[in-house]
Structure 1
Amino acid sequence: MGWVLMSERELPRIEVLSCVVEGRLSVARAADLLGLSPRQVQRLLRTFQVEGAPALRHKARGRPSNNRTLPGVRDLALALVRESYADFGPTLAAEKLAERHGLSESRETLRKWMAEDGLWLSCWQRRQFHQPRLRRERLGELVQIDGSEHRWFEERGPACTLLVFIDDATSRLMQMRFVPSESTFSYFEVLEGYLRQHGRPVAFYSDKHSIFRVAKADAASGHGMTQFGRALAELNIEILCANSSQAKGRVERANRRLQDRLVKEMRLKGISTMEAANAFLPGFIARHNGRFARVPARSEDLHRPLADGVDRLRDILCWRDQRYVGQQLTLTYERNRILLEESEVTRGLVGQYVQTYAFPDGRLEVRSQGMSLPYRAIDPDQQRVTPEAITENKRLSAVLFAIQEMQETSAPNVTTVGKQRTRYQPQSNPHKPRKSWMDGRGAQRAAEATLELPAPDQAAE
């Protein structure tokens, strides 16, 4: 007869039914052992006694499935996918095949077919491998910078951002500061503290945030670099932008570690404000560096002292721009009009550009050839956040917090809604109907007839 293939569920039935035939087991006991009803065991027992053990295997073994795919459907589906849906995933491709071609195959079946034919790679097969980058060899050669927005005070205070400067060669935390959000002035503040404490490094390594990099360097307008990049250029410091978060993994891993250790340290100290947290950071940085800092491969320190000392930092770490002076000695800055005081110097600036210096404390200076010009603002009101204002994602929390404070301190500005400017204004009197051409012609004839009638005295003679 040859070999008979049976499953693991069918093999125990032979032994149990053999015991029933020999009288060592009852039908009820055999039903309990096999997990079947007594009536089903009796049916199997009759089949076993008549046809033997091979009759206990499933009758559908070796027969094609009733739910099998029709021949040619697989080739047709793969041909359609290869022709029109080569970059589609199995789920979307299955939906389009059912919607446009009437092929109702499950997404898992189509996924298996596409994988076998090389049209689909699993997430495991599509994973990317980032080769590790060796550390720089000397302190100050490359400093990674990043901002980490997090609920640093948990429920004790609002969310804020921690700016982190970490050395690539040693993993030392060089400078940290809590700020409301990532902004140019926030980085200026942390950079000033870094320069005063350590000096000028060779280069900073950051992400592609708009603070560090101009998205379109060949744009017709603009200076070709950001304010932060302009400040670093004046300080003779290079700024490099990473193409992925894995490239600056040193600071990314530091952020993850700080979100665990620093949050818990501040919880134990009961710190709930940025002022208290910034005062706590120097001691935490010292303890952190003692625990996690490494010895560089080479002992040289590449930090350079400030070329002109710290006096020029005030004019470097600010927002500098140029504004055109009009015929009335006015210029526009942040949607406010500024009027320069008339003098021998300012009268010669009409039609020329002057330099504006906006400092982190809110002061604004207007200069020409290094000389500060006195001015006054025609519209001194602060600019209000409008619904059309463009807000970056990393500054959204700070902007919403400022809007909330503004709404709580000031009453809403209720204005009277007037008519639409493009609304039609009728020129004639709407209550007096306009005469037609026939009515006008009739009135003209009646007036002419009145002029031709003789006077009453002449008629009597």
Structure 2
Amino acid sequence: MRKIILTPSEHNKYDVIKAVVNNRKSIRRASVELGLCERSIRRLRLQYLSQGKLAFQHGNHRLHTQLKFNKDVKNKIVNLYLTKYNGFNIKHFSEFLNNEEQLNISYSSVLKILTARHVVSPKTQRKTKRRIRKELETKQYQRLLSKREEATYQAVQDVEAVKAHPSRPRKKYFGELVQMDASQEIWFGAHKSFLHLAIDDRTGQIIGAYFDEQETLKGYYQVLSQILESYGTPVEILTDRRTIFDYKRKAHPNTTSDTLTNFGYACSTLGTKLSTTSIPQAKGRVERVFETLQSRLINEMFLKNIQNIEDANTFLINNFIPKFNQQFGLPIKSTMDVFSGQMKSKDIEMALITMEERTVDRGHCISFENKTWSLNNQDHQVMLPHKTKVEVVKTFLNNYYVTFDDRILRMMEVLPVEPVSKEIDYQPSKPRIVKQIPKLTHPWRRDNRKRFEHNHQLAFAIMNG
């Protein structure tokens, strides 16, 4: 005989009706205890007499729902998570199951399947780790752990303490504060690289990003150029206290002239306030985004097999950031935009510059970036005296100039050897460009002529009635 299993509520109803049948309780008393009318109590009593305990079991018991995943689908999900999508958090994994693997499944279902198999996510909370550890300890005592469960048991042994970051309100307007920082990580390939990032404090959207081999001024200039071209000039930029942004001599810490770096000069030119801090929690918005990117961006670039900086920057700008802002960022239209007007590439080139001092040598040239440069005004070289101090200006698009006594001179590289000999090497003559005038029979000229003649005849007919 098949064993009948009841839920606690069904078992309570069975005990009460059984007492009524055995005359240990009245129908009115059973009606009060179960919250049913007396007619329902009499109906249940008749069902008990005809079917016994089976009358109290729900009709859908042991029936399989069509929404339930079969064992093969569950095994496929677990294998995908442990192999192809290893290192993904469960939320990110469920998104790829729906978009890439064409499995229509919710996040809660994926979480339930993986949790039942004791598969933990890199983002698993401490409470969940403790619960899984207790369950696996019981199985370990009974020597029932599989190899995968043994690896999981070792992973949940150490539970990290919670990192406390004090919360603060967001800024009121879009563009009021931009947080900048860089993070070193093995983002792609086998070597570490730096991701330069800019986050708007109000919306949490990524408004600039750039990969580079080192954390340099070039990387931050690339990020700032994206902001200026796409949004405009922000009110304030908050960064960490590096010499790229803030520099003070130890001997003269109060000298204001030492604190204006190239990046600081660019912000001063744009009218943007530059603030620095040595406390990571002060710019917690960008720190938290880096934590999300280390979980998502690394895995997505691994799936795309990205191995170099050029491909990484292309994927970052064209694919990842628009999707990230749509999913995690607050809508820009929900607040006022206080960015100034967007800048053209020519204006950006002249705003994001690098300035360094150089000394003119005996050959009336200067050395810069391991090259020798002559100073030119229009089409002839300017001969400045030996040991003259000049200021080299390198623009964002790698054009070189020199400033001297309110004069701007163009720099031209002096090659160690002439590429072409004017006396010996053959110099091909430049073809003479002859301006071609189309004939009257040319299609577009013929149409214009016919249109003119038609209009002239029409005007003549109107004037002469």
TM-score range (shorter-chain normalised) is: 0.3 to 0.5
Pair member with larger Rg: 1
TM-score by length of 2: 0.48
